Structure 1
Amino acid sequence: MSLAACAGIVERGDPDRFAAVMAAPPAARARLLPLYAFNLEVARAPWVSKEPMIAEMRLQWWRDVVAEPVARAHEVAAPFHAVIREAGLPLPVIDRLIAARLHDAWGEPFADGPAFEAYLDDTAGGLMWLAAVACGGHDEAAARALGWASGLANYLRAVPELEARGRMPLPDGRASAVQALATEGLARLDAARGRVPKAAALAAWQARGLLRQVLADPGVVAGGRMGLSEFSRRGGLLWVSVTGRL
Protein backbone atom coordinates (compact mmCIF):
# COMPACT_ATOMS: atom_id res chain seq x y z
CA MET A 1 0.00 0.00 0.00
CA SER A 2 2.70 2.41 -1.07
CA LEU A 3 3.56 4.91 -3.74
CA ALA A 4 6.01 2.37 -5.18
CA ALA A 5 3.18 -0.10 -5.69
CA CYS A 6 1.15 2.53 -7.54
CA ALA A 7 4.17 3.39 -9.67
CA GLY A 8 4.58 -0.26 -10.61
CA ILE A 9 0.94 -0.56 -11.62
CA VAL A 10 1.13 2.50 -13.85
CA GLU A 11 4.48 1.55 -15.34
CA ARG A 12 3.22 -1.90 -16.33
CA GLY A 13 -0.30 -0.94 -17.34
CA ASP A 14 0.14 2.48 -18.96
CA PRO A 15 3.80 3.09 -19.86
CA ASP A 16 3.03 6.29 -21.81
CA ARG A 17 1.33 7.87 -18.82
CA PHE A 18 4.11 6.61 -16.57
CA ALA A 19 6.67 8.38 -18.77
CA ALA A 20 4.62 11.57 -18.47
CA VAL A 21 4.50 11.29 -14.67
CA MET A 22 8.23 10.75 -14.45
CA ALA A 23 8.74 14.00 -16.37
CA ALA A 24 6.77 15.85 -13.69
CA PRO A 25 8.21 17.22 -10.42
CA PRO A 26 8.44 14.71 -7.54
CA ALA A 27 5.69 16.41 -5.53
CA ALA A 28 3.29 16.02 -8.45
CA ARG A 29 4.29 12.39 -8.95
CA ALA A 30 3.27 11.59 -5.38
CA ARG A 31 -0.28 12.65 -6.20
CA LEU A 32 -0.55 11.57 -9.83
CA LEU A 33 0.71 8.01 -9.44
CA PRO A 34 -2.07 6.91 -7.02
CA LEU A 35 -4.65 8.68 -9.18
CA TYR A 36 -3.47 7.00 -12.37
CA ALA A 37 -3.16 3.62 -10.65
CA PHE A 38 -6.76 3.97 -9.47
CA ASN A 39 -7.86 4.89 -12.99
CA LEU A 40 -6.15 1.79 -14.38
CA GLU A 41 -7.84 -0.47 -11.87
CA VAL A 42 -11.25 1.00 -12.74
CA ALA A 43 -10.61 0.83 -16.50
CA ARG A 44 -9.60 -2.83 -16.21
CA ALA A 45 -12.58 -3.85 -14.09
CA PRO A 46 -15.03 -4.32 -16.99
CA TRP A 47 -12.63 -6.66 -18.78
CA VAL A 48 -11.68 -9.12 -16.05
CA SER A 49 -14.78 -11.22 -16.65
CA LYS A 50 -17.13 -11.97 -19.51
CA GLU A 51 -20.00 -11.67 -17.06
CA PRO A 52 -21.24 -8.06 -16.95
CA MET A 53 -22.65 -8.49 -13.44
CA ILE A 54 -19.24 -9.46 -12.07
CA ALA A 55 -17.67 -6.43 -13.74
CA GLU A 56 -20.43 -4.26 -12.32
CA MET A 57 -19.74 -5.62 -8.85
CA ARG A 58 -16.07 -4.73 -9.19
CA LEU A 59 -16.96 -1.21 -10.24
CA GLN A 60 -19.36 -0.90 -7.33
CA TRP A 61 -16.56 -2.00 -5.00
CA TRP A 62 -14.47 0.93 -6.22
CA ARG A 63 -17.41 3.30 -5.78
CA ASP A 64 -17.67 2.08 -2.19
CA VAL A 65 -13.93 2.55 -1.70
CA VAL A 66 -14.20 6.18 -2.73
CA ALA A 67 -17.33 6.83 -0.69
CA GLU A 68 -16.02 5.20 2.51
CA PRO A 69 -12.55 6.34 3.63
CA VAL A 70 -11.74 3.16 5.54
CA ALA A 71 -8.91 0.69 5.20
CA ARG A 72 -9.33 -1.64 2.22
CA ALA A 73 -7.38 -4.71 1.21
CA HIS A 74 -6.02 -3.21 -1.98
CA GLU A 75 -2.63 -1.67 -2.66
CA VAL A 76 -4.11 1.38 -4.40
CA ALA A 77 -6.95 2.22 -2.01
CA ALA A 78 -4.96 3.81 0.82
CA PRO A 79 -2.60 5.91 -1.35
CA PHE A 80 -5.54 7.09 -3.46
CA HIS A 81 -7.55 8.07 -0.39
CA ALA A 82 -4.56 10.06 0.83
CA VAL A 83 -4.57 12.01 -2.44
CA ILE A 84 -8.34 12.56 -2.23
CA ARG A 85 -7.90 13.98 1.26
CA GLU A 86 -4.76 16.04 0.67
CA ALA A 87 -5.73 17.50 -2.71
CA GLY A 88 -9.46 17.80 -2.06
CA LEU A 89 -10.41 15.80 -5.14
CA PRO A 90 -14.12 16.16 -5.99
CA LEU A 91 -15.87 12.91 -5.13
CA PRO A 92 -18.73 13.31 -7.64
CA VAL A 93 -16.20 13.47 -10.48
CA ILE A 94 -14.55 10.28 -9.27
CA ASP A 95 -17.90 8.55 -8.99
CA ARG A 96 -18.91 9.52 -12.52
CA LEU A 97 -15.56 8.27 -13.82
CA ILE A 98 -16.29 4.86 -12.30
CA ALA A 99 -19.95 4.81 -13.34
CA ALA A 100 -19.05 5.58 -16.95
CA ARG A 101 -17.17 2.28 -17.12
CA LEU A 102 -20.47 0.43 -16.84
CA HIS A 103 -20.70 1.02 -20.57
CA ASP A 104 -17.58 -1.11 -21.02
CA ALA A 105 -18.95 -3.78 -18.69
CA TRP A 106 -22.14 -4.30 -20.67
CA GLY A 107 -20.61 -3.76 -24.10
CA GLU A 108 -23.60 -2.09 -25.72
CA PRO A 109 -23.02 0.34 -28.61
CA PHE A 110 -23.18 4.04 -27.87
CA ALA A 111 -26.69 5.33 -28.52
CA ASP A 112 -25.40 8.30 -30.50
CA GLY A 113 -22.60 10.85 -30.82
CA PRO A 114 -23.51 12.79 -27.66
CA ALA A 115 -23.44 9.56 -25.63
CA PHE A 116 -19.91 8.84 -26.89
CA GLU A 117 -18.81 12.38 -26.12
CA ALA A 118 -20.25 12.14 -22.61
CA TYR A 119 -18.33 8.90 -22.06
CA LEU A 120 -15.07 10.60 -23.04
CA ASP A 121 -15.87 13.56 -20.79
CA ASP A 122 -16.67 11.41 -17.75
CA THR A 123 -13.65 9.13 -18.20
CA ALA A 124 -10.73 10.98 -19.80
CA GLY A 125 -12.09 14.47 -19.17
CA GLY A 126 -12.82 13.68 -15.55
CA LEU A 127 -9.41 12.10 -15.05
CA MET A 128 -7.62 15.16 -16.42
CA TRP A 129 -9.68 17.43 -14.18
CA LEU A 130 -8.77 15.30 -11.16
CA ALA A 131 -5.10 15.42 -12.17
CA ALA A 132 -5.31 19.20 -12.59
CA VAL A 133 -6.88 19.61 -9.14
CA ALA A 134 -4.17 17.38 -7.66
CA CYS A 135 -1.58 19.73 -9.20
CA GLY A 136 -3.26 22.95 -8.06
CA GLY A 137 -5.35 23.67 -11.16
CA HIS A 138 -8.66 25.55 -11.13
CA ASP A 139 -9.84 25.64 -14.76
CA GLU A 140 -12.23 22.73 -15.07
CA ALA A 141 -13.37 23.54 -18.61
CA ALA A 142 -9.79 23.59 -19.91
CA ALA A 143 -8.82 20.40 -18.10
CA ARG A 144 -11.85 18.55 -19.41
CA ALA A 145 -11.20 19.78 -22.94
CA LEU A 146 -7.60 18.58 -22.78
CA GLY A 147 -8.60 15.25 -21.26
CA TRP A 148 -11.36 14.73 -23.83
CA ALA A 149 -8.95 15.28 -26.71
CA SER A 150 -6.30 13.02 -25.23
CA GLY A 151 -8.90 10.40 -24.36
CA LEU A 152 -10.23 10.49 -27.91
CA ALA A 153 -6.76 9.85 -29.32
CA ASN A 154 -6.22 6.91 -26.98
CA TYR A 155 -9.69 5.53 -27.65
CA LEU A 156 -9.19 5.64 -31.41
CA ARG A 157 -5.97 3.70 -30.98
CA ALA A 158 -7.96 1.02 -29.16
CA VAL A 159 -10.65 0.67 -31.85
CA PRO A 160 -9.14 -2.43 -33.57
CA GLU A 161 -8.82 -4.25 -30.23
CA LEU A 162 -12.37 -3.32 -29.24
CA GLU A 163 -13.68 -4.59 -32.56
CA ALA A 164 -11.72 -7.82 -32.12
CA ARG A 165 -13.57 -8.27 -28.83
CA GLY A 166 -16.88 -8.00 -30.62
CA ARG A 167 -17.63 -4.39 -29.70
CA MET A 168 -18.97 -1.54 -31.84
CA PRO A 169 -16.67 1.17 -30.45
CA LEU A 170 -17.81 4.19 -32.48
CA PRO A 171 -21.32 5.51 -33.01
CA ASP A 172 -20.34 6.34 -36.58
CA GLY A 173 -17.30 4.70 -38.09
CA ARG A 174 -17.42 6.41 -41.47
CA ALA A 175 -14.23 8.21 -42.50
CA SER A 176 -15.93 11.61 -42.47
CA ALA A 177 -17.26 11.05 -38.94
CA VAL A 178 -13.86 9.91 -37.66
CA GLN A 179 -12.23 12.97 -39.20
CA ALA A 180 -14.86 15.18 -37.57
CA LEU A 181 -13.95 13.69 -34.20
CA ALA A 182 -10.27 14.39 -34.83
CA THR A 183 -11.10 17.98 -35.80
CA GLU A 184 -13.08 18.43 -32.59
CA GLY A 185 -10.26 16.96 -30.55
CA LEU A 186 -7.69 19.32 -32.09
CA ALA A 187 -9.98 22.28 -31.43
CA ARG A 188 -10.27 21.28 -27.77
CA LEU A 189 -6.49 20.97 -27.52
CA ASP A 190 -6.16 24.51 -28.83
CA ALA A 191 -8.77 25.79 -26.38
CA ALA A 192 -6.97 24.21 -23.42
CA ARG A 193 -3.43 25.23 -24.33
CA GLY A 194 -1.59 26.79 -21.42
CA ARG A 195 -4.55 26.57 -19.04
CA VAL A 196 -3.83 23.23 -17.33
CA PRO A 197 -0.97 22.67 -14.85
CA LYS A 198 1.96 21.28 -16.78
CA ALA A 199 2.39 18.23 -14.54
CA ALA A 200 -1.15 17.14 -15.35
CA ALA A 201 -1.07 18.19 -19.00
CA LEU A 202 2.00 16.06 -19.71
CA ALA A 203 -0.22 13.00 -20.03
CA ALA A 204 -1.68 14.45 -23.23
CA TRP A 205 1.66 14.95 -24.96
CA GLN A 206 0.89 12.59 -27.88
CA ALA A 207 -2.67 13.72 -28.54
CA ARG A 208 -2.00 16.38 -31.16
CA GLY A 209 0.26 14.18 -33.27
CA LEU A 210 -2.14 11.25 -33.15
CA LEU A 211 -5.21 13.31 -34.00
CA ARG A 212 -3.38 14.92 -36.90
CA GLN A 213 -2.68 11.44 -38.24
CA VAL A 214 -6.38 10.63 -38.11
CA LEU A 215 -7.33 13.90 -39.77
CA ALA A 216 -4.91 13.23 -42.63
CA ASP A 217 -5.94 9.58 -43.05
CA PRO A 218 -8.91 8.28 -41.03
CA GLY A 219 -8.09 4.78 -42.28
CA VAL A 220 -5.26 4.57 -39.73
CA VAL A 221 -7.89 3.98 -37.03
CA ALA A 222 -9.47 0.82 -38.43
CA GLY A 223 -6.10 -0.30 -39.74
CA GLY A 224 -4.46 -0.07 -36.33
CA ARG A 225 -1.74 2.19 -37.71
CA MET A 226 -2.00 5.08 -35.26
CA GLY A 227 1.22 5.84 -33.45
CA LEU A 228 4.18 8.18 -33.29
CA SER A 229 7.78 7.26 -33.97
CA GLU A 230 10.04 6.81 -30.96
CA PHE A 231 11.85 10.00 -31.92
CA SER A 232 8.57 11.93 -32.05
CA ARG A 233 7.41 10.45 -28.75
CA ARG A 234 10.58 11.28 -26.86
CA GLY A 235 10.95 14.67 -28.49
CA GLY A 236 7.31 15.53 -27.90
CA LEU A 237 7.45 14.67 -24.23
CA LEU A 238 10.65 16.64 -23.78
CA TRP A 239 9.09 19.64 -25.54
CA VAL A 240 6.00 19.63 -23.35
CA SER A 241 7.98 19.04 -20.16
CA VAL A 242 10.17 22.07 -20.91
CA THR A 243 7.65 24.46 -22.45
CA GLY A 244 4.31 23.25 -21.14
CA ARG A 245 2.88 23.66 -24.65
CA LEU A 246 0.90 20.90 -26.31
Structure 2
Amino acid sequence: MPATTDLPGLAGFARQHDPDRFLCSLFAPAEARDTLFALIAFNHELARAREAAREPMMALIRLQWWREVVEEAAAGGAPRRHEVAGPLSDAIRQGQLEPGALLAMVEGREAEETGEDAPPLAERMRSTAGIMAAETGRVLGAGEAAMPGLRQVGTAYGIGGTLRSLAVLAAQGRDPLPPHADPREAARSLARDGLSLEEAGRRSLAGLPARAVAAALPAVLARRDLGRVLAPGWQPGDAPAPRGAGDRLAVAWAGWRGRL
Protein backbone atom coordinates (compact mmCIF):
# COMPACT_ATOMS: atom_id res chain seq x y z
CA MET A 1 0.00 0.00 0.00
CA PRO A 2 1.17 3.56 -0.58
CA ALA A 3 2.30 5.71 2.31
CA THR A 4 -0.37 7.75 4.05
CA THR A 5 1.09 10.98 2.71
CA ASP A 6 0.51 9.73 -0.85
CA LEU A 7 -3.22 9.33 -0.29
CA PRO A 8 -5.49 12.34 -0.78
CA GLY A 9 -7.99 13.80 1.67
CA LEU A 10 -9.95 11.46 3.89
CA ALA A 11 -8.34 8.36 2.37
CA GLY A 12 -5.04 9.30 4.00
CA PHE A 13 -6.84 10.31 7.20
CA ALA A 14 -8.67 6.96 7.39
CA ARG A 15 -5.52 4.94 6.70
CA GLN A 16 -3.57 6.80 9.37
CA HIS A 17 -6.17 6.72 12.12
CA ASP A 18 -8.10 3.50 11.44
CA PRO A 19 -5.98 1.20 9.27
CA ASP A 20 -8.20 -1.83 9.97
CA ARG A 21 -11.38 -0.32 8.57
CA PHE A 22 -9.42 1.43 5.84
CA LEU A 23 -8.14 -1.95 4.64
CA CYS A 24 -11.66 -3.38 4.71
CA SER A 25 -13.01 -0.40 2.76
CA LEU A 26 -10.65 -1.11 -0.14
CA PHE A 27 -12.84 -4.10 -0.99
CA ALA A 28 -15.90 -1.88 -1.42
CA PRO A 29 -16.89 -0.62 -4.88
CA ALA A 30 -14.72 2.35 -5.85
CA GLU A 31 -17.68 4.74 -6.07
CA ALA A 32 -18.57 4.11 -2.39
CA ARG A 33 -15.13 4.47 -0.87
CA ASP A 34 -15.15 8.23 -0.31
CA THR A 35 -18.37 7.87 1.67
CA LEU A 36 -16.82 5.10 3.76
CA PHE A 37 -13.71 7.20 4.38
CA ALA A 38 -15.96 9.99 5.69
CA LEU A 39 -17.72 7.51 7.99
CA ILE A 40 -14.40 6.12 9.25
CA ALA A 41 -13.08 9.64 9.89
CA PHE A 42 -16.27 10.59 11.76
CA ASN A 43 -15.99 7.51 13.96
CA HIS A 44 -12.37 8.38 14.73
CA GLU A 45 -13.30 11.92 15.73
CA LEU A 46 -15.94 10.58 18.12
CA ALA A 47 -13.42 8.20 19.69
CA ARG A 48 -10.85 10.99 19.91
CA ALA A 49 -13.28 13.18 21.86
CA ARG A 50 -12.56 11.10 24.93
CA GLU A 51 -8.85 10.67 24.30
CA ALA A 52 -8.27 14.40 23.83
CA ALA A 53 -10.35 15.53 26.83
CA ARG A 54 -9.07 15.68 30.38
CA GLU A 55 -12.50 15.22 31.92
CA PRO A 56 -15.88 13.81 30.84
CA MET A 57 -17.51 17.22 30.48
CA MET A 58 -14.96 18.29 27.88
CA ALA A 59 -15.52 15.05 25.98
CA LEU A 60 -19.28 15.67 26.01
CA ILE A 61 -18.74 19.18 24.63
CA ARG A 62 -16.70 17.74 21.76
CA LEU A 63 -19.39 15.14 21.09
CA GLN A 64 -22.07 17.83 21.12
CA TRP A 65 -20.10 19.68 18.44
CA TRP A 66 -20.28 16.60 16.22
CA ARG A 67 -23.95 16.15 16.99
CA GLU A 68 -24.54 19.68 15.72
CA VAL A 69 -22.48 18.98 12.58
CA VAL A 70 -24.79 16.07 11.73
CA GLU A 71 -27.99 17.92 12.60
CA GLU A 72 -27.02 21.01 10.61
CA ALA A 73 -26.14 18.92 7.56
CA ALA A 74 -29.41 16.98 7.82
CA ALA A 75 -31.25 20.32 7.87
CA GLY A 76 -29.39 21.47 4.75
CA GLY A 77 -27.11 23.92 6.56
CA ALA A 78 -23.68 25.00 5.39
CA PRO A 79 -20.86 22.65 6.44
CA ARG A 80 -18.47 23.71 9.17
CA ARG A 81 -14.89 24.38 8.18
CA HIS A 82 -13.13 21.23 9.31
CA GLU A 83 -11.22 18.53 7.44
CA VAL A 84 -13.75 15.87 8.47
CA ALA A 85 -16.91 17.90 9.10
CA GLY A 86 -16.92 19.31 5.56
CA PRO A 87 -16.87 15.98 3.65
CA LEU A 88 -19.14 14.39 6.24
CA SER A 89 -21.73 17.14 5.79
CA ASP A 90 -21.56 16.74 2.01
CA ALA A 91 -22.18 13.00 2.32
CA ILE A 92 -25.18 13.61 4.58
CA ARG A 93 -26.71 16.27 2.32
CA GLN A 94 -26.27 14.03 -0.71
CA GLY A 95 -28.10 11.19 1.05
CA GLN A 96 -25.04 8.94 1.21
CA LEU A 97 -24.95 8.72 5.03
CA GLU A 98 -27.96 8.33 7.31
CA PRO A 99 -28.11 11.08 9.97
CA GLY A 100 -29.98 8.84 12.41
CA ALA A 101 -27.18 6.27 12.40
CA LEU A 102 -24.54 8.95 12.90
CA LEU A 103 -26.45 10.47 15.82
CA ALA A 104 -26.81 7.01 17.36
CA MET A 105 -23.02 6.68 17.19
CA VAL A 106 -22.70 10.01 19.02
CA GLU A 107 -25.12 8.80 21.68
CA GLY A 108 -23.09 5.61 22.10
CA ARG A 109 -19.98 7.66 22.82
CA GLU A 110 -21.89 9.94 25.18
CA ALA A 111 -22.93 6.89 27.20
CA GLU A 112 -19.25 6.11 27.78
CA GLU A 113 -18.89 9.38 29.70
CA THR A 114 -21.46 8.55 32.35
CA GLY A 115 -18.89 7.25 34.83
CA GLU A 116 -19.98 4.35 37.01
CA ASP A 117 -23.33 4.24 35.20
CA ALA A 118 -21.68 3.53 31.83
CA PRO A 119 -23.17 0.47 30.08
CA PRO A 120 -21.15 -2.79 29.96
CA LEU A 121 -18.53 -3.08 27.23
CA ALA A 122 -20.58 -5.26 24.87
CA GLU A 123 -23.50 -2.85 25.04
CA ARG A 124 -21.24 0.12 24.35
CA MET A 125 -19.74 -1.68 21.36
CA ARG A 126 -23.21 -2.40 19.97
CA SER A 127 -23.91 1.33 20.10
CA THR A 128 -20.67 2.30 18.38
CA ALA A 129 -18.84 -0.34 16.34
CA GLY A 130 -22.05 -2.30 15.75
CA ILE A 131 -23.94 0.69 14.40
CA MET A 132 -20.97 1.68 12.28
CA ALA A 133 -20.83 -1.76 10.64
CA ALA A 134 -24.54 -1.61 9.89
CA GLU A 135 -24.26 1.88 8.39
CA THR A 136 -21.33 0.70 6.27
CA GLY A 137 -23.52 -2.10 5.01
CA ARG A 138 -26.38 0.29 4.26
CA VAL A 139 -24.01 2.46 2.20
CA LEU A 140 -23.02 -0.64 0.23
CA GLY A 141 -26.60 -1.79 -0.35
CA ALA A 142 -26.54 -4.75 2.03
CA GLY A 143 -30.30 -4.67 2.64
CA GLU A 144 -32.29 -4.58 5.87
CA ALA A 145 -32.06 -8.34 6.43
CA ALA A 146 -28.29 -8.05 6.84
CA MET A 147 -28.40 -5.35 9.51
CA PRO A 148 -28.63 -7.63 12.60
CA GLY A 149 -25.68 -9.72 11.42
CA LEU A 150 -23.59 -6.67 10.62
CA ARG A 151 -24.30 -5.22 14.04
CA GLN A 152 -23.18 -8.51 15.59
CA VAL A 153 -19.88 -8.73 13.73
CA GLY A 154 -19.26 -5.02 14.27
CA THR A 155 -19.84 -5.45 18.00
CA ALA A 156 -17.46 -8.42 18.07
CA TYR A 157 -14.81 -6.35 16.31
CA GLY A 158 -15.24 -3.57 18.87
CA ILE A 159 -14.88 -6.01 21.76
CA GLY A 160 -11.78 -7.57 20.19
CA GLY A 161 -10.19 -4.20 19.54
CA THR A 162 -10.83 -3.08 23.11
CA LEU A 163 -9.37 -6.25 24.62
CA ARG A 164 -6.40 -6.02 22.26
CA SER A 165 -5.71 -2.50 23.60
CA LEU A 166 -6.14 -3.09 27.33
CA ALA A 167 -2.53 -2.12 28.10
CA VAL A 168 -2.88 1.13 26.12
CA LEU A 169 -6.17 1.96 27.82
CA ALA A 170 -4.67 1.26 31.26
CA ALA A 171 -1.88 3.73 30.53
CA GLN A 172 -4.60 6.33 29.83
CA GLY A 173 -6.31 5.58 33.15
CA ARG A 174 -9.19 3.73 31.49
CA ASP A 175 -10.39 0.25 32.42
CA PRO A 176 -13.22 -1.19 30.28
CA LEU A 177 -13.42 -4.43 32.27
CA PRO A 178 -16.10 -5.06 34.93
CA PRO A 179 -15.05 -3.71 38.34
CA HIS A 180 -13.89 -6.08 41.10
CA ALA A 181 -13.29 -8.90 38.62
CA ASP A 182 -10.14 -10.84 37.85
CA PRO A 183 -8.88 -8.97 34.75
CA ARG A 184 -7.72 -12.02 32.83
CA GLU A 185 -10.87 -14.02 33.46
CA ALA A 186 -13.11 -11.02 32.76
CA ALA A 187 -11.31 -10.42 29.45
CA ARG A 188 -11.55 -14.08 28.48
CA SER A 189 -15.26 -14.13 29.28
CA LEU A 190 -15.79 -11.08 27.07
CA ALA A 191 -13.71 -12.72 24.33
CA ARG A 192 -15.92 -15.81 24.41
CA ASP A 193 -19.03 -13.63 24.18
CA GLY A 194 -17.45 -11.72 21.30
CA LEU A 195 -16.67 -14.93 19.41
CA SER A 196 -20.25 -16.10 19.86
CA LEU A 197 -21.47 -12.81 18.38
CA GLU A 198 -19.02 -13.06 15.49
CA GLU A 199 -20.02 -16.63 14.69
CA ALA A 200 -23.75 -15.84 14.82
CA GLY A 201 -23.29 -12.75 12.67
CA ARG A 202 -21.13 -14.57 10.15
CA ARG A 203 -23.70 -17.35 9.78
CA SER A 204 -26.51 -14.85 9.21
CA LEU A 205 -24.44 -13.04 6.56
CA ALA A 206 -23.86 -16.09 4.37
CA GLY A 207 -25.93 -14.51 1.60
CA LEU A 208 -24.40 -11.04 1.85
CA PRO A 209 -23.88 -9.56 -1.65
CA ALA A 210 -20.24 -9.44 -2.68
CA ARG A 211 -20.43 -5.66 -3.16
CA ALA A 212 -21.28 -5.30 0.55
CA VAL A 213 -18.73 -7.73 1.99
CA ALA A 214 -16.44 -4.87 3.03
CA ALA A 215 -18.95 -4.04 5.78
CA ALA A 216 -18.48 -7.49 7.31
CA LEU A 217 -14.71 -7.86 6.88
CA PRO A 218 -13.94 -6.58 10.42
CA ALA A 219 -15.30 -9.98 11.50
CA VAL A 220 -12.08 -11.51 10.18
CA LEU A 221 -9.99 -9.35 12.50
CA ALA A 222 -12.42 -9.85 15.38
CA ARG A 223 -12.00 -13.62 15.12
CA ARG A 224 -8.22 -13.30 15.23
CA ASP A 225 -8.10 -10.70 18.03
CA LEU A 226 -10.52 -12.58 20.26
CA GLY A 227 -8.72 -15.85 19.64
CA ARG A 228 -5.47 -14.29 20.85
CA VAL A 229 -7.13 -13.26 24.12
CA LEU A 230 -8.16 -16.88 24.64
CA ALA A 231 -4.65 -18.21 23.91
CA PRO A 232 -3.05 -19.84 27.00
CA GLY A 233 -0.26 -17.32 27.53
CA TRP A 234 -2.21 -14.10 26.99
CA GLN A 235 -2.24 -11.51 29.80
CA PRO A 236 -4.22 -8.21 30.04
CA GLY A 237 -0.98 -6.25 30.40
CA ASP A 238 0.44 -7.50 27.09
CA ALA A 239 1.18 -4.70 24.63
CA PRO A 240 -1.01 -4.98 21.51
CA ALA A 241 0.84 -6.80 18.77
CA PRO A 242 1.14 -4.76 15.57
CA ARG A 243 -1.03 -5.92 12.72
CA GLY A 244 0.99 -8.46 10.82
CA ALA A 245 0.90 -9.92 7.34
CA GLY A 246 -1.33 -12.74 8.59
CA ASP A 247 -4.06 -10.33 9.65
CA ARG A 248 -3.91 -8.37 6.40
CA LEU A 249 -3.83 -11.48 4.23
CA ALA A 250 -6.83 -12.96 6.07
CA VAL A 251 -8.84 -9.79 5.34
CA ALA A 252 -7.62 -9.70 1.74
CA TRP A 253 -8.51 -13.35 1.14
CA ALA A 254 -12.04 -12.87 2.40
CA GLY A 255 -12.38 -9.61 0.45
CA TRP A 256 -11.19 -11.14 -2.82
CA ARG A 257 -13.53 -14.11 -2.41
CA GLY A 258 -16.41 -11.79 -1.58
CA ARG A 259 -17.44 -13.79 1.50
CA LEU A 260 -16.31 -14.37 5.08
Q: Considering the TM-score relative to the shorter chain, is it more than 0.5?
A: yes
CA RMSD of aligned residues (A): 2.4
- Tell me which of 127, 131, 142 is aligned to 1:122: 127
Give the distance between the partners of 2:236 and 2:215, measured in 1 at CA. Answer: 26
Q: Is the 8 A contact 1:110 1:169 kept in 2?
A: no
**Identity of matched residues, %:** 36
How high is the TM-score relative to the length of structure 1?
A: 0.86
Structure-1 separation of matches of 2:52 and 2:113: 9
Deviation of the 1:205 alpha carbon: 2.9
Q: Which amino acid aligns with 1:91?
A: P
The answer to whether the Cα contact below 8 Å between 1:21 and 1:203 also exists between their aligned partners in 2 is no
Q: 2:58 aligns with which of 54, 78, 81?
A: 54
Counterpart-to-counterpart distance in 2, 1:31 and 1:142: 21
Q: How much has 1:227 moved relative to structure 2? A: 5.6
Q: For 1:105 and 1:141, how far apart are their aligned partners in 2? A: 26
Distance change (3 Å), C-alpha of 1:95 and 1:120 = same
Contact 1:125 1:147 in 2 (8 A): yes
Which amino acid in structure 1 is aligned with residue 150 of structure 2? Answer: A
Shift in alpha-carbon separation, 1:226–1:177, aligned structure 2, 3 A: farther
Distance 2:63 2:245 in 1: 38
Take 2:218 and 2:231, find their aligned partners in 1: how far apart are those partners?
23
Is residue 2:36 matched to residue 1:32? Answer: yes
Q: CA deviation at 1:160?
A: 0.9
Contact 1:109 1:168 in 2 (8 A): no
Q: What does residue 197 of structure 2 align with?
A: 188
Question: Aligned letter for 2:188?
Answer: Q
Match of 2:185 in 1: 176
3-12 vs 56-65, which deviates more? 3-12
- Which segments of 5 or more consecutive residues in structure 1 lack a partner in the other structure? none
Query: 1:213: which partner in 2?
Result: 228
Give the 3 Å change call, closer, same or farther, for CA 190–5 of structure 1 in structure 2. same
Instruction: Show the 5 A alignment for 1:48-127.
Output: 48-69=52-73, 70=77, 71-87=79-95, 89-105=97-113, 108-109=115-116, 115-127=120-132
Specify every segment of 5 or more residues in structure 2 that has no aligned partner in the other structure, as ranges.
1-6
Using the size of structure 2 for normalisation, the TM-score is 0.82
Q: Which residue of 2 aligns with 1:17?
A: 21
Match of 1:231 in 2: 245
2:259 is the counterpart of 1:240: no
Contact (CA 8 Å) 1:43, 1:101: kept in 2 or not?
yes
Change (3 A) 1:206 1:68: same
Contact 1:93 1:122 in 2 (8 A): no
Residue 163 of structure 2 is matched in structure 1 by: 156
Change (3 A) 1:4 1:225: closer
